[in-house]
Chains A and B, each alone.
Chain A
Amino acid sequence: DQQVKQNSPSLSVQEGRISILNCDYTNSMFDYFLWYKKYPAEGPTFLISISSIKDKNEDGRFTVFLNKSAKHLSLHIVPSQPGDSAVYFCAASGGEKLTFGTGTRLTIIP
């Protein structure tokens, strides 16, 4: 039973345009959400997070939006750059553990 779902296995975006990655969750006890980025042959690295008391958090080109009523969060990357090509994992926490989605492979087309 996947409590965190990333329904798009892959996404291709033109360089300079906006990339939008989506994530849905089912557990209403989740109150902290994170995005991780993963390059091949490396471990995931933390990108940005958001607490359930907020609906938006911004860090440079990266913005995460949280819609608690819809149990949905999204990561916006603007503008997209070739170095953003990676697998992005959404993760959720209701305590000490993180529950990860299956990831979305983002490809930025030059």
Chain B
Amino acid sequence: AQSVTQLGSHVSVSEGALVLLRCNYSSSVPPYLFWYVQYPNQGLQLLLKYTTGATLVKGINGFEAEFKKSETSFHLTKPSAHMSDAAEYFCAVSESGGSYIPTFGRGTSLIVHP
């Protein structure tokens, strides 16, 4: 069975600082991994995804994530936080050829201080 753990329900950074949101997954088969962002009162929007190939994936708004199989991790980073990055971030996993329904982590709220 697949599962996702996001460490830290809240992450607080200063504007201009590095953003690091952690995601660890469990999957019995090669995973597909996703990061989504949710702004207040809106639906989820895809930031980036990993399916196969290059393990460092770049997404929208300057975010990127690296798939590390040995660590079962898919952490999200951005070199310099902007006030507009304040939102809820969700990591999700689905299993290629397995339980393909995306399973979401509990989310991390990113707070950006001026």
A and B: real partners? no
Q: Which residues of B contact A (CB under 8 A)?
A: none
Q: Which residues of A contact B (CB under 8 A)?
A: none
